[in-house]
C-alpha cells in the first residue's frame, strides 16, 4: 500500500472517530439488513482482548414486545435518576431524549463473561477487571463500524442489571456491559447531544495528557505545562463592550435606573465576564466543599477536636449538614473534596478524593506546606473547577471544612492586607476570651517567623495557609479562566480570594461576595478586594452556606436582563430626559 493510500485510510479512520455520535432520536423504522449487521458484529468481534479471551457475547433484540419491556425497565430507572437531580438539572433532563429502545429497529446487548479463558488466562492474573475492559473495546469497534455503515448507535445505561439480565435470560455469571440501540437515522448531529443541550462539554485534550508521571502536563512534543501559569494566562479582563450593553439594557428596563442597587452591578459584571449581554443564567450551580486539617490545631487555638473535620465530611456526604439543606433549597449540587483531611476517608458518592497530605504542618514551627504541596493543592482546585464546568455547572460556589482553618485564614488575611493580627482574628467556632487572645498570639508568632511582607503569593500561602485555602484559590482561578462566576462564602474563601487576586488581579472579575461573615477578617478582606457582599446575616458557619443563600440573588440579577421588558417593548412611558 502506498503512503498516499495509507494517508487516505488514516484520514477515513479519524473522520469516523470524529463523527461518531451517541444517537437517542431520529431513528428511521426501516430495518438493518443482515449482511450489514453481520459486518458490524464482525468488527466488534475483532476487538483486542486480554489473553485473546474474547469475553463478549452479543444478544440481538428485534422483537417489539421485548423491546417494550426493556424500555419499561429503563424508564423506571430514568425516573429514579431524575428524582436525584436538583431542579434546574431535572428540568433540563426531563426534556432530553435518553434512549431509543422502541424506535431503533435493532437492540444489541453486549455481555461480559469474566470466566472465559479458564482459571488463569494470559494477562488477567493480576488485573481481573480486564475482562470488561476488553468488552468495552468490542463496543467501541461496533460503534465505529456502525458509523462507517451509516448506522446510528445509542448507548442506554438506565438499567438495574439484575432486572435486565432476567429479561434477556442471561446466565448468572454474565454481566451486561452495554445495551445499544442500532439503526438508520435521519441525520447525524454536528456534535454530541449532551454538548448541544448544554448538559456537559468535552474536555480539551491538553487537560488529559501527562508526560511520564501524572501531573506533568503537556501534549507530545510540547514543553511541560505549568497548570497554574497556564490558567492565569487564560484569565482576561471583563469585556467592556458587554458591560456597556448591560448598563444600557438596565437603563431601558421597566424600572427606575439603579433601583436594583448592587444587583444591577452584579448583572453588569457577569455580562463582562461572559463577554455577552445578557450573560448566561448562572445555573445549574455547584458548590465544592474543600476539606483539610491544620497542624496549628496542636497549639490549642480551638476547643474542637481535629476528628470533627472527618466527621463533618461524612455528614456532608450523608446530606445532613446545613450546606446540604441550603443546597437543596436553592437547587445546587454539592461535592466534597478531600484535599487534606488527616483521616482516611472511605469512598462515597459525592466525595472527590484529592488528598495532597494528611493536614498541614504547624505554621508556628515552619511552613504549613511545602512549595510542592501548595502548588499541587492550587492545581487541584483548578481541576475541580474544570471538571464541574465541563459537567455542566454554570456557577461555582466555594465551600470549606477544616477545624482550626480560621486561624490560618486570619494569618493569610493579615499577610495580604497588612492589617493588624488582632483586627482580623475572630472567634471562629465560638472560642472564649482566653482562647481568642491565645489564637492572636499564635498567629502573630507565625507571621513573625515567616515575615510574609514582599514575598511571592504562593510562598505566603505555603507558609501560613491551609490546603483548602490553596485549593480554593485554584478553584477561583479556574472559574475565572473558564469565565464562569464563582460565589464566595466567608472568611476562608475570602482568604483564598486574596491569594488568587495576588496571583492574578483579573480573577476578581469572576468573584461575587456571597455574604459578609461575622469574622472580622472577612470585612477586611472584602474591603481590600473591593467586593460588595450581597447578604449580611452575621453568619460564621462556613461550608458554603453564605454563598448558597446569595445564589438566588445572583441568579435573579441575571434573570432580570433575560426576562424583564424594556419600556419600548412593554409600551410603558419612560421618564422624560432633561434637556
Q: Helices (DSSP H) in 391-489: which residue ranges?
A: 405-417, 421-424, 433-450, 457-464, 467-481
Beta bridge pairs of residue 334: 287
Single out the residue of 19, 165, 156 nearest to residue 100, CA to CA.
156
Query: Phi then psi for 427, rounded to 5 degrees?
Result: -95, 5
Residue 128, burial from CB neighbour count under 10 angstroms (0-12, 13-18, 19+): exposed
Q: Which three cell numbers stand for residue 18?
A: 470524529
Rounded-to-integer distance, Cα 232 and Cα 457, Å: 13
Single out the residue of 497, 495, 528 nearest to residue 510, CA to CA.
497
Please give the C-alpha separations between residue 427 and each of 442, 521, 525, in angstroms, as whole numbers.
14, 10, 16
Q: Which three cell numbers stand for residue 75?
A: 424508564
| Helix and strand element counts for the chain (H, E) | 22, 10
DSSP tag of 274: H
Rounded-to-integer distance, Cα 416 and Cα 456, Å: 11
Please give the C-alpha separations between residue 389 and each of 288, 394, 481, 523, 544, in angstroms, as whole numbers.
12, 6, 11, 29, 18
Query: Phi then psi for 408, rounded to 5 degrees?
Result: -65, -35
Q: Which three cell numbers stand for residue 539?
A: 453568619
DSSP 159-190: --HHHHHHHHT--TT-EEEEEEEEEEBS---S
Q: Which of the residues are catalytic?
A: 543
Rounded-to-integer distance, Cα 541 and Cα 401, Å: 9
Single out the residue of 56, 157, 156 nearest to residue 112, CA to CA.
56
Q: Which three cell numbers stand for residue 166?
A: 432476567
Rounded-to-integer distance, Cα 175 and Cα 255, Å: 61
Match 504562593 to its residue by C-alpha cell: 458
Rounded-to-integer distance, Cα 162 and Cα 247, Å: 57
Torsion, CA 514, CA 516, CA 519, CA 521, rounded to 10:
90
Q: Which residues contact 96 (CB under 8 A, 6 or more apart)?
A: 24, 193, 197, 199
Q: Which three cell numbers stand for residue 545?
A: 452556606
Amino acid at each position: 500500500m502506498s503512503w498516499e493510500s495509507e494517508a487516505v485510510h488514516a484520514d477515513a479512520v479519524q473522520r469516523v472517530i470524529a463523527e461518531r455520535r451517541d444517537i437517542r432520536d431520529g431513528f428511521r423504522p426501516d430495518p438493518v439488513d443482515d449482511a450489514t449487521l453481520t459486518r458490524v458484529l464482525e468488527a466488534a468481534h475483532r476487538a483486542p482482548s486480554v489473553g485473546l479471551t474474547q469475553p463478549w457475547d452479543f444478544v440481538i433484540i428485534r422483537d417489539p414486545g421485548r423491546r417494550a419491556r426493556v424500555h419499561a425497565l429503563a424508564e423506571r430507572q430514568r425516573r429514579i435518576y431524575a428524582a436525584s437531580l436538583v431542579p434546574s438539572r431535572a428540568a433540563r433532563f426531563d426534556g432530553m431524549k435518553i434512549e431509543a429502545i422502541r424506535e431503533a429497529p435493532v437492540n444489541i446487548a453486549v455481555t461480559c463473561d469474566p470466566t472465559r479463558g479458564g482459571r488463569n488466562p494470559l494477562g488477567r492474573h493480576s488485573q481481573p477487571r480486564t475482562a470488561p475492559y476488553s468488552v468495552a473495546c468490542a463496543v467501541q469497534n461496533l460503534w465505529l463500524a456502525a458509523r462507517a455503515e451509516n448506522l446510528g448507535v445509542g448507548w442506554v445505561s438506565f438499567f438495574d442489571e439484575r432486572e435486565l439480565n432476567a429479561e434477556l435470560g442471561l446466565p448468572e455469571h454474565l454481566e451486561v456491559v452495554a445495551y445499544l440501540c442500532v439503526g438508520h437515522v435521519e441525520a447525524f448531529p454536528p456534535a454530541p447531544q449532551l454538548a448541544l443541550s448544554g448538559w456537559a462539554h468535552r474536555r480539551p485534550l491538553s487537560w488529559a495528557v501527562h508526560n511520564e508521571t501524572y501531573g506533568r502536563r503537556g501534549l507530545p512534543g510540547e514543553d511541560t505545562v505549568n497548570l497554574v501559569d497556564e490558567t492565569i494566562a487564560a484569565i482576561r479582563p471583563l469585556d467592556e463592550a458587554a458591560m456597556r450593553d448591560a448598563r444600557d439594557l438596565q437603563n431601558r428596563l421597566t424600572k427606575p435606573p439603579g433601583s436594583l442597587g448592587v444587583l444591577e452591578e452584579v448583572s453588569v459584571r457577569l455580562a463582562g465576564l461572559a463577554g455577552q449581554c445578557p450573560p448566561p443564567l448562572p445555573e445549574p450551580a455547584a458548590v465544592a466543599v474543600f476539606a483539610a486539617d491544620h497542624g496549628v490545631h496542636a497549639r490549642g487555638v480551638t476547643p474542637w477536636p481535629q476528628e470533627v473535620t472527618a466527621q463533618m465530611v461524612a455528614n456532608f456526604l450523608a446530606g445532613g449538614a446545613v450546606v446540604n439543606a441550603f443546597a437543596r433549597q436553592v437547587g445546587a449540587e454539592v461535592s466534597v473534596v478531600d484535599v487534606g483531611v488527616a483521616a482516611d476517608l472511605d469512598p462515597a458518592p459525592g466525595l472527590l478524593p484529592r488528598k495532597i497530605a494528611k493536614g498541614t504542618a504547624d505554621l508556628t514551627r515552619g511552613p504549613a506546606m511545602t512549595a510542592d504541596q501548595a502548588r499541587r493543592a492550587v492545581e487541584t482546585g483548578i481541576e475541580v473547577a474544570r471538571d464541574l464546568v465541563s459537567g455542566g455547572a454554570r456557577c461555582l460556589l466555594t465551600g470549606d471544612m477544616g477545624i482550626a482553618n480560621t486561624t490560618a485564614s486570619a494569618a493569610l488575611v493579615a499577610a495580604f492586607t497588612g492589617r493588624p493580627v488582632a483586627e482580623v482574628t475572630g472567634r471562629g467556632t465560638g472560642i472564649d476570651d482566653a482562647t481568642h487572645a491565645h489564637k492572636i498570639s499564635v498567629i502573630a508568632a507565625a507571621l513573625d517567623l515567616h515575615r510574609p511582607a514582599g514575598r511571592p503569593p504562593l510562598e505566603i500561602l505555603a507558609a501560613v495557609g491551609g490546603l483548602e485555602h490553596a485549593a480554593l484559590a485554584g478553584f477561583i482561578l479556574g472559574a475565572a479562566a473558564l469565565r464562569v462566576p464563582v460565589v464566595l462564602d466567608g472568611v476562608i474563601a475570602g482568604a483564598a480570594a486574596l491569594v488568587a487576586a495576588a496571583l492574578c488581579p483579573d480573577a476578581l472579575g469572576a468573584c461575587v461576595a456571597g455574604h459578609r461573615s461575622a469574622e472580622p477578617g472577612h470585612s477586611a478582606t472584602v474591603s481590600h478586594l473591593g467586593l460588595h457582599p450581597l447578604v449580611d446575616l452575621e453568619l460564621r458557619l462556613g461550608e458554603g452556606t453564605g454563598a448558597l443563600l446569595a445564589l438566588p440573588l445572583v441568579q435573579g440579577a441575571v434573570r432580570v436582563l433575560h426576562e424583564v421588558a424594556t419600556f419600548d417593548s412593554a409600551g410603558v412611558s419612560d421618564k422624560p430626559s432633561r434637556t
